[in-house]
Amino acid sequence: MSGRDERADLVLTGGSVQTMDAVRRTASAIAVRDGRIAAVGSDREILECAGPRTRRIDLAGRTLLPAFQDAHVHPSMAGVGLLRCPLHDLPRSLGAYQAAIRAYAAAHPDAEWILGDGWYLEAFPGGTPRREDLDAVVPDRPAFFINRDGHGAWANSRALAVAGIARGTADPPRGRIERDAGGEPTGTLHEGAIEEVKRILPVLPVEERARGIELAQAYLHRLGITAWQDAWVTPDDLAAYRLLAERGRLTARVIACLWWERERGGEQIESMIEQRRTGTLGRLRATTAKIMLDGVAENFTAAMLHPYLDGRGRATANRGISFVDPEMLKRHVTRLDAEGFQVHFHALGDRAVREGLDAIEAARLANGPSDLRHELAHLQVVDPGDIPRFRALGAIANIQPFWACNDRQMVELTRPFLAPERFALQYPFRSLRRAGAILAGGSDWTVSTPNVMAEVEVAVRRISPDEPDQEPLLPGEALDLPDALAAYTIGAAYANHLDDVTGTVKVGKLADLVVLDRDILAPDAGAPTDARVLLTLVEGAAVHEDPALEAR
C-alpha cells in the first residue's frame, strides 16, 4: 500500500495463501485495492491495510490461490449444448440417452431438428451407436448427437437421408461413415463425415450463441476458472463473444483460438488477421490459431508412428490420419508465426506430436525466436525422443489429465489396439516436466469435466475419481500436487499470455483469485476432487460466492 490513507477494498486473512510463484512462497493473508493485489503477508500486516469500509473475510485456514485458468476448453460449444439436449452427465447407457432424448423431443414439438451432444463411446458396442436406436425415440424428425470428444456423431435415419448419406455415398476426405456388412450406414459418423450433416443444420442466431456462452461462463466461474483458451472458435462464435464483450458481460479473460479449416490452405490467414483485429477488445483476444493435426485413438484416427493393432495383437496397416500434410503444415505455421499468431495444435498421437514440433522448428528456423508460445494439446502418446524438444523449441505441453487413467474407454477402446511399448508412452506428464517443458492445464470440456480439482486428482493419482479402486495408469508419470496446481494457475496463465497480470499471488497483479473450502495441501485434506470452490474473484469482484464462505 502506498499510504495509510489508501485502505484496502478487501482483505482475506487466516488462510493458506499459495502464491504459486517460482519458489512456491506461502502467506496467510492478502489485501486487494482497485482490482489488484495490494499486499501479501501475515495477518497482522494485512489487517493494517483495512479501514472502516474494507470487507474482511476470515479464510479460517482454507486455501487461497490465483484463480484457475483452462488452457484448452470449449465454452462456445458447451454453451450451445446447454441450450439443446446435453447427455454428458447422464448414466453412460443407451437407455439413459434414449429417455433423455425422448423427453427433450416431446418438450420441443416445433423443433425442426433434435440436437445434442455428450454421449460416451463405452455406452455402445465398439463405441458406435446405431440409427435404429435413435429412430426409436425420434422417428419423425432428423436427430443428430455429437459424442463427448467431438470426433464422432450419432444420426438417425432421417438425418442421414436429409444429408444424402446412403449406401453409395463415398467416405469424405479425412472421415469415415460406419457401415454394416451390406454397406448401409449404421448411424455413426467419424471425423470429416460429421461435417456432411453439420453443414445442413439450422443456423443458430448470434444472440443464442452469446446466451449459451454466458451460461458456460457462469458454470466455469463456479469452478474457480476466470480465464481460458476457447480451442475452437468459428466466426459465428467470435461474433457472440464480441457481443458479450461489447455489453460488458464477458467477465472472463478469453483467448479465442481461431479455427483452421483443414480443407483450405494458407489463403485463410488473411481472414484470420481480420478476425484478430475485430475480435480483440476488452477481455477478449483473438490471437491464436487452432490446427487439428489428427483425431483420437478410440476410432483409430490419432496419427501414430507405429500401426494400430487389430485387437488380437496383430499389426494392421492403419497408422491414423494426418489431417494436414506435414510439409504444408510447416509452411502454414511459419506464416502464422511471422504474422504474430500463437498456434494451438490438437496433437494426440505420437506422429501428430512430431509433426507439430517439426512445424514449430521450421518456423523458428525461418523467423527466429519469438514469445508466441506455440502449444501442443492432448499429448496422449509421445515418443521419448520428442520430449526434450518441447523445452528446446519453447513449445508448451497443454495437458488434459482427466484422461490419464484406466477408465473403461482406456481399457476397452485403447489398450487392445496399441502395442504394449507404445501404450506405455501415454500422458508422460512427469517426463515432460523433468525435461523442462512448461505444463499448461486444460480440460477439453465438454469432452471431460472442467472441474480443476478433479483434473488435478487424476494428474496426481492417475486413477479416475469415479473408480477409486482401479489400477493407476503408468503411475511413474504422475505429477505432485503443487506441480498439478501450477499447471492450472501460472502454467495456463503463461500459455494464455496472461502471466504478467495473473497466475500468481503477487503485489500489483490483478486480483483474480479463488478460495477453496479447505487447506488443500494439509495431510488431512482428503482427495483433491472433494474440494469445493467457495469464492471466485475477477479483479477483486466476486463472480461466484458460496454462502458457506462466511457461514459460522
Q: What are 128-170's pLDDT values in tens digits?
A: 999 999 999 999 999 999 998 888 999 999 999 999 999 999 9
**Secondary element (H or E) of residue 256:** strand 253-259
Phi/psi of residue 217, each to 5°?
-60, -45
The strands making up 143-147's β-sheet, listed across from edge to edge, are 85-86, 114-119, 143-147, 152-155, 185-191, 175-179
Beta strands in 19-151 (DSSP E): 26-27, 29-33, 36-41, 55-58, 63-66, 68-73, 85-86, 114-119, 143-147
How many contiguous H segments (helices) and E segments (strands) does the chain have? 18, 24
Average pLDDT, the chain: 95
- In tens, the pLDDT along 310-351 reads 989 999 999 999 999 999 999 999 999 999 999 999 999 999
Domain extents for the chain? 10-66+505-549, 113-198, 206-495
- In tens, the pLDDT along 479-518 reads 999 999 999 999 999 999 999 999 999 999 999 999 999 9
Q: Can you give the length of the chain in residues?
A: 552
Instruction: Let me know: does 484 contact 440? Beta carbons within 8 Å.
Output: no
pLDDT at 203 over 70: yes
pLDDT at 3 over 50: no
- Using the Cα atoms of residue 129, residue 133, residue 134 and residue 137 in order, give the sign of their dihedral: negative
What predicted TM-score, i.e. pTM, was given to this entire model? Answer: 0.88
Q: What is the pLDDT of residue 83?
A: 86
Q: What is the pLDDT of residue 552?
A: 61
Q: Which CATH number is 113-198's, of 3.40.366.10, 3.40.50.1100, 3.10.310.70, 3.40.50.2020? A: 3.10.310.70
The class (CATH top level) of 10-66+505-549 is: mainly beta
Q: Which CATH number is 206-495's, of 3.40.50.280, 3.90.25.10, 3.20.20.140, 3.40.50.150? A: 3.20.20.140
